[in-house]
A and B are shown apart, each in its own frame.
Chain A
Amino acid sequence: MSNDIQNAAADKLVISMEGVSKWFGSFQVLEDINLSVKQGERIVICGPSGSGKSTLIRCLNRLEAHQEGTIRVDGIEMHEKMKNIDEVRQDIGMVFQHFNLFPHMTVLENCMAGPNWVRGVPKSEAKERAMAMLTRVKIPEQADKYPSQLSGGQQQRVAIARSLCMEPKVMLFDEPTSALDPEMVAEVLDTMVELAESGMTMICVTHEMGFARKVGDLVVFMDEGKIVERNNPTDFFDNPQSERTKLFLSQILSH
């Protein structure tokens, strides 16, 4: 690959949202959202519960449908008549609050399924890749166990490995540490930091402010379906602009 193409790729928007609005019935959850994410960028979205942050990232792989505006992932517009949704989703990794591992399959099978079933990767190669990713999240020794035999933190790391096995172009994290016991948060965040440092494009909905400060390129603060403030982490935490942001930060940082 020549340098020109690489540079073009670096500037390429992996995700763009223009004027996106969404309603649940008559309740507006997202209001005129504009957000673009370049390749390799790490975005942290935070905000009070009910502010629409989870809904926002669930719109990105169309687990939720938006009603107005356009969402493009890797240049492809996401809309209700699209034919290639499954192909597009293969390139978008998603990590859920409640892990959502497949309980009837071993850790290894969880990680092999995607590449083997939909990417057409042969079993032996899928297994190699799965083991490599499990090693990367530091639990290769758990490969033959079932998800329910693992701790929450281990399950979430398996979920991350499962997504990585698909070699996604972007990773979405929907409150990945919110359902974990406190002492397990660190191991998951360490994994995410390692991932961020490897250059993965990431969009994280999280309240882990230490993580945001450490790896975030941009912190987005949402309230009542709108993006209230966006800034680099240093300015966001040290010099918030809006009153709403100040209040939120004072509440979550006061303990």
Chain B
Amino acid sequence: MYPDTVIGEKLIRKPGFLLGLLAIAFLAFFTFNMADTIIGEFLRPVIGEPQESGLFGRSAAALVLSILFVGNLLVISFFHIKVQIGIVWLQLLLLFMAFFYSFDLKLSFIQSKIGFMITQGLFTTLYISAVSIMIASAIAIVGAVAKLSNNGVAFAIASFYTSLFRGLPLLMQVFLIYMGLPQIGYVIDAVPAGIIALSLCYGAYMTEIFRAGIQSIPRGQWEASRSQGFKFGLTMRRIILPQAVPLIIPPTGNQFIAMLKDSSLVSVIGVWELMFLARTLGQKDFRHMEMLITAALIYWCMTMVLEVIQSRIEKHYRQKGAR
């Protein structure tokens, strides 16, 4: 965003703002009656038995929490921006872990299953997503050219395709392909069905990305190419696409990250990917939460790694673009 060269007074240092924030935080904590939680236990010496402390206990818990909350923000505001980011990340992470901790998880159960979740679940998820994104890219390039062409039939097919597959829920597409294809006599396994569904759905979205990428290349490039006698196909392959691909790659990376998570939908047809294992591995021992949380963390770690890779790629192309 645009960095201002004149720094105004920080909002958080204004007493009016602080008081207002305090009031809002107090109201929020009061509404959710924090006296029944672990905070009430901490305040036991002051408010007595938390369950019977009534309005007094409720107010005291809310007041302590809101002062902690606002004081925390105030303290953080004195640090350098990089330190601020670190502190806030850490605090949110701790809250998140405290949330998980409250489920009374059995770590030994997770330990016994996590190996299989990674070798079977994570591997299948990555495999399905990687194959699908490649097929989707191939569909997208054909779709984009068709949508930009002045061939009526090609345009109609491409626009019908994107309209249909962007218009149906992915979950429904998974079912329709897995159960619909056998109806016309073509029995299909769960994994290929899932890959087809993901490819078709994301191909439709990526058609639009590719179309926009191709369209963003200035008209002058076409004219310079065609005026030298380069035919349409040659112009597309050697002049337009090499310039469009760097623009297309970052949003395609985004699509891949999104697909990684949407691939969980193919668990409904029994593909042994991460989500499927998360739902089934804990069933026998009634340890659902352990498996769900483990899978959640695996998804999260995976997307964080991919986001880092994604930003590297973007940086690479930005530098190349500045050439």
Contacts and interface: CB of A to CB of B under 8 A. Distances in A.
B243 interface: yes
Contacts of B229: 86-90, 114, 118, 166
Interface residues of A, number: 26
Contacts of A104: 242-243
Contact of B220 (A61, A96, A163, A166): A96
Interface residues of B, number: 18
Contacts of A87: 229
Given A98-B220, A104-B243, A113 B227 contact: no
A96 B239 contact: no
A102 interface: yes
A23 interface: no
A187 B131 CA distance: 53
Contacts of A117: 230, 234, 238
B150 interface: no
Q: Dominant SS at the B interface?
A: helix
A148 B323 contact: yes
Contact of B221 (A88, A102, A148): A102
A9 to B, nearest CB: 22
Given A100-B220, A102-B239, A146-B323, A114 B228 contact: yes
B227 A63 contact: yes
Given A113-B238, A146-B323, A148-B323, A102 B224 contact: yes
Contacts of A14: none
A118 B234 contact: yes
Nearest to A104: B242
Contacts of A118: 228-231, 234
A146 B220 CA distance: 17
A142 B234 CA distance: 26
B223 interface: yes
Interface of B: 218, 220-221, 223-231, 234, 238-239, 242-243, 323
22 contacts: A61-B227, A63-B223, A86-B229, A86-B230, A89-B228, A89-B229, A90-B228, A94-B224, A94-B227, A100-B218, A100-B220, A102-B221, A102-B224, A104-B243, A113-B228, A117-B238, A118-B229, A118-B234, A148-B323, A149-B323, A162-B228, A166-B228
Given A87-B229, A90-B228, 17 more contacts: A86-B229, A89-B227, A89-B228, A100-B224, A101-B224, A102-B224, A103-B243, A113-B238, A114-B228, A114-B230, A117-B230, A117-B234, A117-B238, A118-B231, A149-B323, A162-B228, A166-B229
